Amino acid sequence: MTTPPTARQSAAVFDLRMADRDLSPMCAADTFMTATAVVSQLKDWAATLRDNGARDVTLTAAFGAAVAAPWLPVEAIQLGVRAGVWLTAFDDRIDTEAYDAGSAGRAFDRYRRTALGAEPDAADPLNTALAQLAVDIERQQWGAVVGPLWRSTVANTLIAMAADRAYATAVRDGGSPPGIEEYLRIGARSSGLDFTVVPLWAAMPDADMPCFLPVLTRAMPHACMALRLANDVAGQDRERAEGVVNAVSLGMSPPQALASITHHTQQFQSALTPLVAAGNRSAIATVRLLQWALRAYTTASPSTAPEGLA
């Protein structure tokens, strides 16, 4: 069996300061081997979530995390992958189970409380998986600093997902949709980007995390907004058929969305440019993950491509 590359091996072929460089064949090989190792190690874990979508998305999440931080060991990359897979499994459960408005609200609140430290329901594998992931993040090098941030990120993501569901239910029942500004303010929090990248920060070999963490967190709303809009444009036809409220259904045209994606992407990258130039791996990984995610949406819908990613 081939051993995935170590951080030292990756650093030898990867210029960490060039977050937007094309992958060389050696880096592509590192990414592939790391992602497949992650998938192999998480196969049984994903099955415990009892969600077919979770198993299916593990490979995609593993490639995203490996592209973002190819210098991290497999054990650290697993944290971001588990977060992304968990979010998919939770979203699938909320979409497929017969929740009424009251029971859906209680479900969101139960998981939010678990994220914030309440005892999980031992009979619910999704609940216990969320609690264990929070503990594993806090065991990392920067867990004491990043762990509480991730817990609050989970809580905010679940609040935003609950609002998304409430919007769709209201419209389906003949009510009024939210205004575009309210939707974007809430919807950006459910993009999933911060949900998956913050766990990686906990394991980064950076010095002085408490000093630069505020720079990262201030930049993240721009990244999350760009990804939310890219999702809305790429999935507009499917979501229209499903009755999902998104920016396009609320009146934002695809060209307007593209302009906003480009604006927020540029604002995000500008905010992190000093850290990227200094070789800060948390910043580099976050820029790379956004680029990877936007590129994935660009493949699905070229109209979502901001400048530099077409």
Q: What is the pLDDT of residues 91-117, one digit of tens each?
A: 888 877 756 667 778 889 999 999 999
Instruction: Find tokens 């139960």 and name the residue.
Output: 110
Query: Does the residue 8 lie in any domain?
Result: no
Is residue 33 in a domain?
yes
Tokens at 38, concatenated? 């992650």
User: pLDDT tens digits for 175-223?
Assistant: 888 899 999 999 899 999 999 999 999 999 999 999 999 999 999 999 9
Average pLDDT, the chain: 85
Q: Is residue 253 part of a domain?
A: yes
Share of the chain above pLDDT 70, in %: 85
Tokens of 207: 């010095």
Classify residue 19: in a domain, yes or no: no
Residue 12 domain-assigned?
no
Q: What is the mean pLDDT of residues 159-174?
A: 86
Task: Select from 224, 202, 207, 196 the least CA-distant residue to 72.
Answer: 202
CATH code, 291:
1.10.600.10
**Does residue 181 form part of some domain?**
yes
The pTM for the full model equals 0.87
Structural domain of 206: 24-304
Domain count, the chain: 1
With 60 as the cut, is the pLDDT of residue 260 above it? yes
Question: 59 in a domain, yes or no?
Answer: yes
Q: How far is CA 142 from CA 139, 150, 206, 279, in A?
A: 8, 12, 9, 18
Q: How confident is the model at residue 17 (pLDDT cuts 50, 70, 90)?
A: very low
Please, are residues 177 and 249 in contact by the beta-carbon 8 Å criterion?
Answer: yes
The pLDDT of residue 158 is: 95
205 is a domain residue: yes
Higher pLDDT, residue 193 or 245: 193
Nearest CA among 111, 109, 116, 137 for reference residue 126? 111
pLDDT digits (tens, 9 = 90+) for 18-51: 444 555 777 778 888 999 999 999 999 998 887 7
